[in-house]
Structure 1
Amino acid sequence: MIRLTGFLVVIAVFIACLSCQSEEEIKRQRYITEGILIYKNNCANCHQPKGEGLAELYPPIAKSDYLADKNQIICLMRYGQQGKIVVNGKSYNRPMPPQPQLSDLEIAELATYIYNEWGNETTVTDVKAVTPILKKCAESK
């Protein structure tokens, strides 16, 4: 009989769990994991780690009515935003800087994380859907 201890037990359970998940769920979890890192490195400073925003300066993402237009959110992730916006009935007027260094895949991962964490979704925002949205945004700029 093989005895597994500590770390090996965790690895064995993790592998067993992966084998029970669909390919789509594995992809969703991978996108979310990468999205968390992207959020922490590019968004959390202003929108805060739990998405609650920063006082009167930066709007919340968590429980935000602004998430309703996903295409608009995907565009502003890449191209930023200027001017006044209203989130949950409150006005904000600080620019959001563009993030041109983010690849289409990174934006898809970020959107997957944000919408799964705070937008009541349980699906992947696939890069195949994000790329044409970003192309259309670029054409309208």
Structure 2
Amino acid sequence: MKQRIALLALGSLFVIQFGCQSDEEIKRQKYITEGILIYQNNCANCHQKKGEGLAALYPPLAGSDYLQHKEQVICLIRNGLQGPITVNGKSYNRPMPAQPQLSDLEVAELTTYIYNEWGRENTLTDVKKVTAVLEACKK
């Protein structure tokens, strides 16, 4: 609870500090702030706080060549993964649990955070795009 309050306060600080920024930038900052919480609660246990992964068990997000495949990453977040995956030339074979409890908006916030933190992006992954990708995953 204290962590959520601190992050909400941080989000408010972003709005105040960046008040002269575009609506798009303010929205991106809000997505990142929420994405941090979602990451800490659902992903950091395996991928670690700084995205470095966990030895030979769980792949890194930081510096990951797999982040080049954003649509696949969005599908993985919602649907999980069974079987091997290769990241940065190294094979991993631990299951990634599905996150069906996350709304499309939460997946968009999480994706925005991951890609702004480790994917060399400075953009928003909009919920409309995520919804379309997740619909395509079902097929």
Q: TM-score, normalised by structure 2?
A: 0.88
Which secondary structure does the structure 1 equivalent of 2:96 belong to?
Answer: coil
User: Alignment length, in residue pairs?
Assistant: 127
In our comparison, the structure showing a higher alpha carbon Rg is 1
Q: CA RMSD in A?
A: 1.3
User: Is residue 130 from structure 1 mapped to residue 119 from structure 2 by the alignment?
Assistant: no
| Alignment gaps of 5+ in structure 2 | 1-12
Pairing 1:4-15 to 2, within 5 Å after superposition: none
Q: What's the offset of the Cα at 1:16?
A: 5.1
Identity over aligned pairs, percent: 72
Alpha carbons 2:14, 2:29 under 8 Å: kept = no
Which secondary structure does the structure 2 equivalent of 1:96 belong to?
Answer: coil
Q: Report the Cα distance in structure 2 between the residues aligned to 1:43 and 1:16, rounded to whole angstroms.
A: 29
Pairing 1:59-138 to 2, within 5 Å after superposition: 59-138=59-138
Q: What's the offset of the Cα at 1:19?
A: 2.3
Q: Report the Cα distance in structure 1 between the residues aligned to 2:92 and 2:52, rounded to whole angstroms.
A: 14
Runs of 4+ with >4 A deviation: 13-16
Counterparts in 2 of 1:48 and 1:16: CA distance versus 1, 3 Å: closer
Pairing 1:14-25 to 2, within 5 Å after superposition: 17-25=17-25
- 1:55 corresponds to which letter in structure 2? A
Q: Report the Cα distance in structure 1 between the residues aligned to 2:82 and 2:14, rounded to whole angstroms.
A: 44
User: Is residue 44 from structure 1 mapped to residue 53 from structure 2 by the alignment?
Assistant: no
Aligned to 1:57: 57
Which secondary structure does the structure 1 equivalent of 2:91 belong to?
Answer: strand
Q: TM-score, normalised by structure 1?
A: 0.87
Which secondary structure does the structure 2 equivalent of 1:20 belong to?
Answer: coil
Q: Report the Cα distance in structure 1 between the residues aligned to 2:113 and 2:27, rounded to whole angstroms.
A: 12
Q: What's the offset of the Cα at 1:138?
A: 1.1
Which secondary structure does the structure 2 equivalent of 1:91 belong to?
Answer: strand
